[in-house]
Amino acid sequence: MKRVVYATAAIVAPLLALANPNDDFDRSLKLAEQKGCFECHTLGRSYIGPSFAAIARHYRRDPEARDRLPYIIRGGSAGHWGERFVMWPRPNLSDAEVQQLVRWILSQ
């Protein structure tokens, strides 16, 4: 008798991420492009807003950053990076999208 084992997404997804961690980076990069993040931010240098690398450095030692950044992304911000930087709110992002973007930004 043959035994069939079914793998659930909860089991397979982490294994796939381990197999190719760049896939998550690429998916998140594409999401950031689709959601307009690159209108003001870049990967490595300040443009209109701070670079994603600068944001990651700024929040690197902040244990509450993963909880706080979704509110900043969704609600917008002013004054976090000086008077000249104002981030427009992005209320149309889903919880999953915001969490994916936060993980990606902090991984820079």
Could you report the per-residue pLDDT of 63-100, keeping only the tens digit for each? 999 999 999 999 998 887 777 778 889 999 999 999 99
The residue-averaged pLDDT of 9-31 equals: 66
Q: Phi and psi of 5, rounded to 5°?
A: -115, 130
Structure tokens at 79: 């004054």
The distance from CA 47 to its chain's CA centroid, rounded to whole angstroms, is 18
- Do residues 28 and 100 lie in contact, with contact meaning Cβ atoms separated by under 8 Å? yes
DSSP letter (8 states) at residue 8? P
Reported pTM: 0.75
CATH number at 20-106? 1.10.760.10
User: How many alpha carbons lie under 13 Å from residue 52 in its C-beta half-sphere?
Assistant: 20
Domain chopping of the chain, boundaries: 20-106
Q: What's the whole-number average pLDDT of the chain?
A: 82
